[in-house]
Every structure is written in structure tokens, then in C-alpha cells.
């Protein structure tokens, strides 16, 4: 079942492939930045990020304005803060 926040997502009309760049080189980074630009305008960015990190544990793609490596770094920071 889709969460209600998805109906408000800025990426509704964007090509889904944009949010799943292949590789880590220049073209993939440019594509990820284009996806992140859409995310920056999104009213439900926080909900999307939380869903990707907690509910579905997405490991690929741009979700909530963050690439997979950025989400992993955020999770590490959150774990360190929780341990303090």
C-alpha cells in the first residue's frame, strides 16, 4: 500500500530512472544531482527519506534528496548520537 505522502511527491511526473543512477562516475553523479534538485523542491522530502531509511531500507537510488552513500553516512551519525 502506498503511503499518503507519495501523492504529494515532487517526483510524481519525473522519469523514475533519473533517481537510480548507474555507477559512481561523472554521468551518474550528474544524474544524481538532477534527481536531488527535484527532491529539494519536494514538500514531502523528509517523509520520503524516513521511508527509505527506516521502513523499506532502500539501498539504491536517490530518496529524500540523498544518495545511498549519503544515507549510510546519516545512519552512522544517528547511531553514534544514540550511543552517546
42 is in an annotated binding site: yes
Tens place of pLDDT per residue across the chain (84 aa): 456 888 999 999 999 999 999 988 899 999 999 999 999 999 999 999 999 998 788 889 999 999 999 999 999 999 898 988
Q: How far is CA 63 from CA 6, 12, 35, 78, 81, in A?
A: 12, 13, 9, 17, 22
CB 72 within 8 A of CB 58: no
Residue indicated by cell numbers 510524481: 12
* pLDDT reported for residue 25: 87
Contacts of 47-52 with CB under 8 Å at 24 or more apart are: 47/3, 47/5, 48/5, 48/6, 48/9, 51/3, 51/5
* pLDDT reported for residue 64: 96
Structure-block grid coordinates of residue 2: 502506498
61 is in an annotated binding site: no
48 is in an annotated binding site: yes
Amino acid at each position: 500500500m502506498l503511503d499518503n505522502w507519495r501523492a504529494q511527491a515532487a517526483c510524481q511526473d519525473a522519469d523514475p530512472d533519473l533517481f537510480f543512477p548507474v555507477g559512481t562516475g561523472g554521468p551518474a553523479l550528474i544524474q544524481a544531482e538532477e534527481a536531488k534538485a527535484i527532491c529539494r523542491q519536494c514538500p514531502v522530502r523528509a517523509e520520503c527519506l524516513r521511508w527509505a531509511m527506516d521502513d523499506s531500507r532502500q539501498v539504491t537510488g536517490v530518496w529524500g534528496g540523498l544518495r545511498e552513500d549519503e544515507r549510510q553516512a546519516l545512519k552512522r551519525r544517528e547511531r553514534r548520537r544514540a550511543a552517546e
